[in-house]
Amino acid sequence: MALAVAKERNASVVAGATTGNAGSSMACLAASMGMRCVVFVPESAPPAKIAQLLVFGAKVIAVRGTYDQAFDLCAEVCARRGWFNRNTGSNPFTREGKKTCSFEIWEQLGREAPDWVAVSCGDGNILSGLWKGFYDLAAMGLISRRPKLLCAQSDASDAVARTVQHVRDIGQVDWMRVQVARVRATTCADSISVDEPRDGLAAVRAVIESGGAAVTASDADILAAIPELARGAGVFCEPAAAAGWAAVKKAAPLGLIHPEERVVVVLTGHGLKDISSARKVAGEPLVIDASLDAALAATEP
C-alpha cells in the first residue's frame, strides 16, 4: 500500500530542463492545477527567469553545468522517480503545443500562410512544432501552400544550421541515417545555447521539406537586433528571440528572402528576462543633479 501511494504521489510531479522560458510556463500551469513541479536549469540561467520559476512555486535545481547536462540529469531523475518528463524531444506533447503558434499566425494573417516564418532555434522544438501546425492546416485544406521556415541560430550554437547544410550538400537523404551535429555552444542567447539539439532531426527535416534555410548570426548582431526590434516594432525581446530578426537581415542580402515576400518573425522571449544582455547595447541614462539648470542642459538638442 505504501509503495502504491508513493507511486501515485510521484505521478503528480512534472519535471523538465529549461533555461527558463518553457519552465516558467510549466511552473505556472502546474501551480494552477495543484501539481508539484521540478525544474532543472543551468546555474548560469538569467536571474529573472529563476525568479519567475520560484514565484510560481517550482522546485528549482540549478545545475553547475550546461543546459545539456541539466537535460540529461532531469531525464535520469524522472526515470528513477517515475515523474512525468516534459523535456523537449522526449515528450511529443511539446510539439503538439507549439504547433498552435502556426494556427495563430494563420488566423491573424486573415487565414493565410506567410511566405516565410523565421524563428530562433536551440533544441529545434519550436521549428518542428510550427512545421507540424502548417502541415495540419494544409491537410485540412485551410491553406494552399505551406511557408518556408528560416532557422535562426547563433554562430556560437549552430548544430541545426550545420546539419541542414550537410543534408543539402549530400542531396538525397535517408532520414533514418542523418546525425545532427553536436557543438560546444557558447552563445549569449541562453535560450538557444544547446550543444546537442534534442528535437534537432525534426527541425532539420522541417527546414529541408519547407524549402527554407538555416542562417546564423554573430552574438554581436543578435544583441544589436534587440534595440532595433524595440524601436522599430515596439517589442522588447531577449537575445534568443532577437536572433530571428538578425537572421532575416542576413537572409535578405543573400537572396533567400525577396522584397515582395511576407515574413513573420516569431519572438520567443521577453527582454525583461535578460536585462544584462539588453543593457550591453541599450546605452546608459544621463545622471544629473536635481535642478532645473541641469535638466535644461541635459535636454539641449
Q: At 243, which CATH number? A: 3.40.50.1100
Q: Does position 5 have pLDDT exceeding 90, yes or no?
A: no
**Shared domain check, 168 and 141:** yes
Same-domain check for residues 43 and 155: no
Domain identity same for 68 and 136:
no
Looking at the fold, whether 157 and 52 belong to one and the same domain comes out as no
In a domain, 105, yes or no: yes
**How many domains does the chain fold into?**
2
User: For residue range 50-68, what is the model confidence (pLDDT) as tens digits?
Assistant: 999 999 999 999 999 999 9
37 domain-assigned = yes
Please calculate the CA angle 118-119-120 and round it to the nearest 5 degrees: 135
Question: If we measure between CA atoms, which residue out of 271, 270, 269, 251 comes closest to residue 117?
Answer: 251
Residues 153, 161: Cα–Cα separation, whole Å: 7
pLDDT tens column, 87-130: 988 888 899 999 999 999 999 999 999 999 999 999 999 999 99
Is residue 142 in a domain? yes
Please tell me whether residues 49 and 100 are part of one structural domain.
no
- Residue 186 within a domain: yes
Which pLDDT score, from 0 to 100, does residue 11 have?
54
Torsional class of 255: left (φ above 0), alpha (ψ -120 to 50), beta (otherwise):
left
How buried is 276 (Cβ within 10 angstroms: 0-12 exposed, 13-18 middle, 19+ buried)? exposed
Picking from 44-48, 61-65, 202-206, 246-250, which range would have the lowest pLDDT averaged per residue? 44-48
Judgement on whether residues 157 and 116 belong to the same structural domain of the protein? yes
Residue 294, in any domain of the structure: no
Show the domain range for 212.
Answer: 94-281
Q: Same domain for 100 and 238?
A: yes
CB 266 within 8 A of CB 126: yes
Q: Does 27 score more than 50 pLDDT?
A: yes
pLDDT, tens digit, 9 for 90 and up, residues 137-160: 999 999 999 999 999 999 999 999
Per-residue exposure over 44-73, b if at least 16 CB sit within 10 Å of its own CB, e if not? ebbebbbebbeebebebbebeebbbebbbe
User: C-alpha cell of 165?
Assistant: 547544410
Mean pLDDT of the chain: 93
Looking at the fold, whether 270 and 183 belong to one and the same domain comes out as: yes
How many CB atoms are closer than 10 A to CB 7? 11
Q: Does 1 score more than 80 pLDDT?
A: no
149 and 245 part of one domain: yes
Q: Per the domain annotation, does 23 fall within a domain?
A: yes
Alpha carbon separation from 19 to 112, 242, 244 (Å, rounded): 33, 16, 18
**Whether 107 and 254 share a structural domain:** yes
Helix 47-55 and helix 21-32: axis angle, to 10°?
Answer: 10
* Whether 15 and 154 share a structural domain: no
70 and 140: one domain? no
The answer to whether residue 300 sits within a structural domain is no
